Amino acid sequence: MKKEKSITKVEIPTERIAHLIFLIRGKKVMFDRDLAGLYNVGTRDLNKAVRRNIERFPADFMFQLSKPEFENLMFQFGTSRWGGTRKLPYVFTEHGVTMLSSVLKSKRAIEMNISVIRSFIKLREMLSTNKELAQRMDELEREQKYQGNRLESVYAIVKQLIETPIKSVSKIGFNVDK
């Protein structure tokens, strides 16, 4: 009788995954090392599987960071030059992460892939909400500027009325005192 391995479903909060998504070259991407950690495989093994199926990963699905980009990230993350990554990392877009599910076939990879895709979707929704909010704020700012200009002109007229001296009323007729 065969014993089946029981795989417990692992739930990782979307917020935790969303913190692993970065904006590089104008694209939302995840690092190979972060994906390998989520899929519970080595970064080397993940990259090896990708290289074996490289035709599935065009440039808009995956790309390798340049040396200046990587050095900039090391500076931002405060990473030491000793130890850690020796090669320039690969980063995967949302489509690249989706394609990883066809390359990595374990149950864990499939479950994590679903979680990662949900995180990308949630991030996109948050950004669209923020975009709508920013548009509304711009609209309110324009409206406030318009109202401010109107109030400014009313204020100028009132100020002019206050500052204009009232002329004394001259008498009608002849002045006999002179």
Characterise 62 by phi-psi region: left (phi > 0), alpha (psi -120 to 50), beta (else): beta
The answer, as to whether pTM is greater than 0.75, is no
The tokens for 158 are 């009132």
HSE (side-chain half, CA atoms, 13 Å) at 49 = 20
Exposure letters 58-85 (e unless 16+ CB within 10 A, then b): eeebbbebeeebbeebeeeeeeeeeeee
Q: What is the mean pLDDT of the chain?
A: 77
Does position 59 have pLDDT exceeding 80, yes or no? yes
The owner of tokens 């109030």 is 151
Considering the four listed CATH numbers 3.40.50, 3.90.550, 3.30.1490, 3.10.260, the one that applies to the domain covering 14-130 is 3.10.260
Q: Could you give the CA distance from residue 72 to residue 139 in angstroms, rounded to a whole number?
A: 36
Which pLDDT score, from 0 to 100, does residue 173 have?
72
Instruction: Identify the weakest region by mean pLDDT among 9-13, 86-90, 113-117.
Output: 9-13
Strand partners, 64: 90
pLDDT tens, residue by residue, 12-45: 666 777 788 888 888 888 899 888 888 888 889 8
- The strand pair at 27-31 and 21-24 is best described as antiparallel
Going from N- to C-terminal start, the domains of the chain cover: 14-130
